[in-house]
Amino acid sequence: MLNIRSTFLAISAIVFSSFVNADSLTVENPFVREVPPGSPATAAFMQLYNQSDAPVRLIKAQNSITDYTELHDHVVINEVMQMRQVDAIEVPARGEVQLAPGGLHLMLIGLDQPVKEGDTLTFNLIFDNGDVLEFEAPVRPVMPMHHSSSSE
């Protein structure tokens, strides 16, 4: 397992950037959500841009620390928000798609080590047209929820 990850990292080694381009597809502002030690999964978010005249579909994702990366979305069923795996994420022609908390995202499943702020993960996004985007994404902490307080 470690050899596969080491090979993946060696092959995928690129200079970190918050803007990555592979022909007409770009990734901007990628990040991975920090999780507490022992958490089995985390999520990755970004903006995907397609500058071509044809739509493309993200069909697979790989990362440097887990064996499984699934494409996910959140849906409301019976007034309850649920996470669901999807087969693909379409990026429209001359358009964009947001992978963001509460919506589409990459789910990194099977963490065997903690991911913490300051770490950087390597990704490959594989599209139905054969394009592969390779990039690195920093790990960011979860932003705290701000609750308003009122006095009576």
Provide the pLDDT for residue 144: 60
**Number of other residues whose CB lies within 10 A of the CB of residue 66:** 21
pLDDT bucket at 5, cuts 50 / 70 / 90: low
* pTM confidence score: 0.79
6/42: higher pLDDT: 42
Instruction: Give residue 13's pLDDT.
Output: 41
Contact 53, 93 (CB under 8 A): yes
Mean pLDDT calculated for residue range 73-82: 88
pLDDT at 11: 46
Which of these ranges, 52-66, 86-100, 114-128, 138-152, has the smallest mean pLDDT?
A: 138-152
Q: What is the pLDDT of residue 30?
A: 98
If you average pLDDT over residues 48-72, what whole number do you get? 96
Residue 25's pLDDT band, with cuts at 50, 70 and 90, is very high
User: Cα–Cα distance between 94 and 48 in angstroms, integer?
Assistant: 11
Report pLDDT for 152: 46
Alpha-carbon span 105 to 126, nearest angstrom: 15
Domain 2-140: state its class: mainly beta
Pick from 6, 36, 11, 9: nearest CA to 111? 36
